[in-house]
Amino acid sequence: MKSKFFNPATSLTILLVAGLFVACGGASQSGIGQEAAPTTVKTANPSPTIASSIALPGDTPPEIPAVTSDQLLRIAEVPPDLPSYDRDDWKHWVDEDKDCQNTRHEALIEESLAKVAFKTDRKCQVATGEWFAPYTGETVTDATRLDIDHMIPLKNAHNSGGWAWDKSRKAAFANDMSYADHLIAVTASANRKKGARGPEAWKPTNRGYWCDYAIDWVQIKIDWDLSATKAEWGALQEMLETCDSTPSIQAVSPKAESPATVKEAVPPAAASSNSSEVRIASIDCKGKPEVVTIENSGASTQDLTGWKVSDDGLGHTFNFPNGFLLGSGSSVKLVSGGSGQDTESVIYWKTRTVWNNDGDTARLFDPSGETVSERECP
């Protein structure tokens, strides 16, 4: 299911921060339960907005909005003394929900444009369906012709900051399906040609997919707090130029302080800063669909930009879309294991179930990363 935060009516502004990634420290890392994938929705023919000016340290162009630290894409070269990459550390194709379908086959089921057929009556492994393989522009019906590709190759993630993760977070990255194109069905031949290469060394032969590919690549790197090299970013800029509206990029060299000190401004008339009155009111995690209800008992509207809901398992994390407002006395239901049209009071997160029936806990985090509410599955 596509993530829900890219608004086709608005532009995507990407702020680049150079020089924050050092060999010994790298990107800021966090545990698997603290943050995860996907937070932004990609729509057809998106039109990112980018400015060409580069600000020197100490200069802040007035037209550049303040942003939160998780909206920053760091530009940094790969440190020469990284620990070696070991693919076995990135455990992938797991059967997290113990239904006999591992991540590969769940991705095949989710991405098929037609009802799939299975190899056996147990319905563990997909045999046929209908998939559009975007790297080459082909339609494929035989699942054996397909690989499930990590949009950001695991080795690239390692070199970009994932080397510092523990194995549980590496597994979360390797199996994440919360952002639609984090894992993507492509022809096996195209995936082998891509290998672990970034866009500076390999691009899809289907040029009509370049815009989407670049936006997905950037978004996943931001969501997982991974850096990009200058060559990588140059290639992404070339691909972004194929979007319907010519993209431009705002590149900002920050001051010496951490980007975490830069906060997104919330107009006082639009939202309250009192997060203690927003809580998880209830959770129903047995059966389908699963529903987590979040309510605002305060006297004013709360802006949920930067807020997250996370589980205890492999780090499934839902990030509220930018500008999502929860009115005073209102509630919003976060639904997994179902599908439908989003409204102001219902958001469909995943078509798959998220919460474990025994012992799982839903946690609500404010933009600073503080846990403001939690509730266990009954």
Which of 65-69, 70-74, 183-187 is predicted most confidently?
183-187
- Domain membership flag for residue 176: yes
- Domain membership flag for residue 350: yes
Q: Do residue 253 and residue 301 come from a single domain? A: no
Q: Do residue 348 and residue 201 come from a single domain? A: no
Single residue among 211, 227, 261 that ends a domain in this structure: 261
How many other CB atoms are there within 10 angstroms of residue 266's CB atom? Answer: 17
Task: Identify the DSSP state of 272.
Answer: B
Say how far apart CA 317 and CA 118 lie, in whole Å. Answer: 30
Q: Do residue 243 and residue 287 come from a single domain? A: no
Number of domains in the chain: 2
pLDDT recorded at residue 15: 53
Domain hosting 310: range is: 275-376
- Domain membership flag for residue 2: no
213 versus 15: the higher-pLDDT residue is 213
Q: Do residue 279 and residue 347 come from a single domain? A: yes
pLDDT recorded at residue 342: 81
Q: Do residue 238 and residue 334 come from a single domain? A: no
Say how far apart CA 285 and CA 282 lie, in whole Å. Answer: 10
Residue with tokens 């194929």: 242
- Domain membership flag for residue 121: no
pLDDT band, very low/low/confident/very high, at 36 (cuts 50, 70, 90): very low
pLDDT recorded at residue 313: 55
Instruction: Give the residue-averaged pLDDT of 223-252.
Output: 78
pLDDT in tens, 219-237: 898 889 899 998 998 899 8
Residue with tokens 């992938």: 92
Q: Do residue 217 and residue 355 come from a single domain? A: no
CA angle 370, 354, 295 (to 5 degrees): 50
Least confident window among 139-148, 219-228, 266-275: 266-275
The residue among 90, 93, 238, 269 whose CA lies nearest residue 165 is: 90
Q: Is the pLDDT of residue 53 over 50?
A: no
Q: Residue 332 is part of a domain; what is its CATH number? A: 2.60.40.1260
- Domain membership flag for residue 8: no
Instruction: Give the residue-averaged pLDDT of 36-60.
Output: 33
Instruction: Give the residue-averaged pLDDT of 117-130.
Output: 96
pLDDT recorded at residue 9: 31
Q: Do residue 245 and residue 279 come from a single domain? A: no
Under 8 Å between Cβ of 296 and 250: no
pLDDT in tens, 160-197: 999 999 999 999 999 998 887 899 999 999 999 999 99
Q: From residue 136, how far is each of 54, 174, 291 by CA, in Å?
A: 35, 23, 38
Single residue among 261, 289, 310 that ends a domain in this structure: 261
Q: What is the SS3 assignment for 69?
A: helix
pLDDT recorded at residue 240: 87
- The amino acid present at 356, given as its one-letter code, is N
Q: Do residue 367 and residue 307 come from a single domain? A: yes
Instruction: Give the residue-averaged pLDDT of 10-23.
Output: 43
pLDDT recorded at residue 246: 52
Q: Is the pLDDT of residue 55 over 50?
A: no
Q: Do residue 161 and residue 52 come from a single domain? A: yes
pLDDT recorded at residue 106: 93
Q: What percent of the chain has a predicted confidence (pLDDT) above 90? A: 40
Q: Do residue 296 and residue 342 come from a single domain? A: yes
Instruction: Give the residue-averaged pLDDT of 57-66.
Output: 32
Q: Is the pLDDT of residue 155 over 80?
A: yes
- Domain membership flag for residue 246: yes
Q: Do residue 241 and residue 359 come from a single domain? A: no
pLDDT band, very low/low/confident/very high, at 136 (cuts 50, 70, 90): very high
pTM above 0.85, yes or no: no
Residue with tokens 């940094």: 76
pLDDT recorded at residue 58: 34
Single residue among 233, 261, 289 that ends a domain in this structure: 261
Instruction: Give the residue-averaged pLDDT of 188-212.
Output: 95
- Domain membership flag for residue 131: no
- Domain membership flag for residue 318: yes
Q: Do residue 85 and residue 186 come from a single domain? A: yes
